[in-house]
């Protein structure tokens, strides 16, 4: 529970936590160290590593390099059962509860569980809720499941509450990498009002004002990914961090 408790402490102290998703296929090796240090000095709270579709065969090496270059926690965001490694601190044990594909509700988990146990890393049970975003994202396509309609916050709220009752420790509202539209504020509000566990929001967040609105709507953790695959945007990481850490902003 070390990493999960650290996330809870960060949320309590800063108002919300900020994680950046690293895709081994997108972050070139020669820029890893510079990017990680930039994230550290900009106030990022940790990293997710992985993705729905990953062709990089050196997942273990990538994680090992990340761990050697940062003091921040590294959490696996698995897109398949092959994305398990002892080189990380924890893994989001994702169940795609928005869909009805049994393989992504429990099937793949049975296969992955022994590997996670053997690795010694901390599993964090996470309800993964795909949300309609204006385009067919990789996560939707690869999971073979329909996302929850954007205009149905009540479905998302009921799904999230059921997940909490089943023992999930996190609720992840996912618009998807490269989404046209982020998760609606109304949906985040509906979910956070129903649930007592932290709500993660990711996908389609391309400016700090949007990130701030997600926190004000009830997000406890905000995730950005492909927006910062463009080196020209790196100077905005601090701006995102300040917007998400809402308690720090109030103190200032």
Q: Where are the beta strands (DSSP E) in 40-86?
A: 46-49, 73-76
pLDDT band at 161 (very low <50, low <70, confident <90, very high): very high
Q: Where are the beta strands (DSSP E) in the chain?
A: 17-22, 46-49, 73-76, 90-96, 122-130, 170-174, 199-202, 221-224
% of the chain surpassing 70 pLDDT? 96
Distance CA 228, CA 217 (A): 23
Segment of 26-40, 138-152, 155-169 carrying the highest mean pLDDT: 155-169
**Does position 147 have pLDDT exceeding 80, yes or no?**
yes
pLDDT band at 141 (very low <50, low <70, confident <90, very high): confident
**Does position 252 have pLDDT exceeding 60, yes or no?**
no
Domains of the chain are: 2-251 (3.20.20.390)
**Does position 106 have pLDDT exceeding 90, yes or no?**
yes
Bridge partners of 222, per DSSP, are 18, 201
pLDDT in tens, 165-218: 999 999 999 998 878 999 999 999 999 999 999 999 999 999 999 999 999 999
DSSP element (H, E) containing 12: helix 2-14
pLDDT in tens, 14-72: 999 999 999 888 887 788 999 999 999 999 999 999 976 666 668 899 999 999 999 99
Distance CA 192, CA 25 (A): 33
Q: How many CB atoms lie within 10 A of CB 165?
A: 9
**Does position 140 have pLDDT exceeding 70, yes or no?**
yes
Q: Which residues does 231 contact at the CB level (< 8 Å), separation at least 6?
A: 31
Q: Which residues does 123 contact at the CB level (< 8 Å), separation at least 6?
A: 90, 91, 93, 116
DSSP element (H, E) containing 152: none
Q: Which residues does 12 contact at the CB level (< 8 Å), separation at least 6?
A: none
């Amino acid at each position: 529970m070390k990493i999960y408790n650290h996330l809870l402490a960060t949320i309590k102290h800063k108002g919300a936590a900020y994680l950046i998703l690293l895709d081994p296929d997108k972050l070139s090796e020669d820029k890893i160290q510079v990017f990680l240090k930039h994230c550290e000095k900009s106030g990022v709270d940790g990293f997710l590593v992985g993705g729905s579709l990953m062709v990089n065969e050196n997942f273990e090496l990538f994680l090992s390099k990340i761990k050697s270059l940062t003091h921040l926690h590294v959490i696996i965001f698995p897109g398949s059962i092959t994305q398990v490694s002892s080189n990380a601190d924890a893994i989001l044990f994702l169940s795609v509860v928005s869909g009805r594909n049994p393989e992504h509700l429990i099937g793949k988990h049975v296969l992955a569980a022994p590997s996670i146990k053997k690795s010694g890393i901390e599993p964090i049970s996470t309800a993964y809720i795909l949300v309609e975003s204006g385009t067919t994202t990789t996560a939707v396509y690869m999971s073979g499941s329909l996302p929850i309609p954007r205009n149905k916050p009540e479905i998302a709220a009921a799904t999230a509450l059921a997940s909490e009752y089943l023992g999930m420790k996190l609720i992840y509202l996912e618009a998807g990498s490269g989404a046209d539209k982020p998760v609606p504020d109304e949906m985040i509000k509906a979910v956070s009002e129903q649930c007592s566990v932290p709500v993660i929001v990711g996908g389609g967040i391309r400016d700090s004002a949007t990130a701030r609105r997600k926190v004000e709507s009830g997000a406890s953790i905000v995730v950005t990914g492909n927006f910062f695959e463009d080196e020209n945007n790196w100077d905005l990481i601090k701006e995102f961090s300040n917007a998400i850490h809402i308690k720090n902003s109030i103190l200032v």
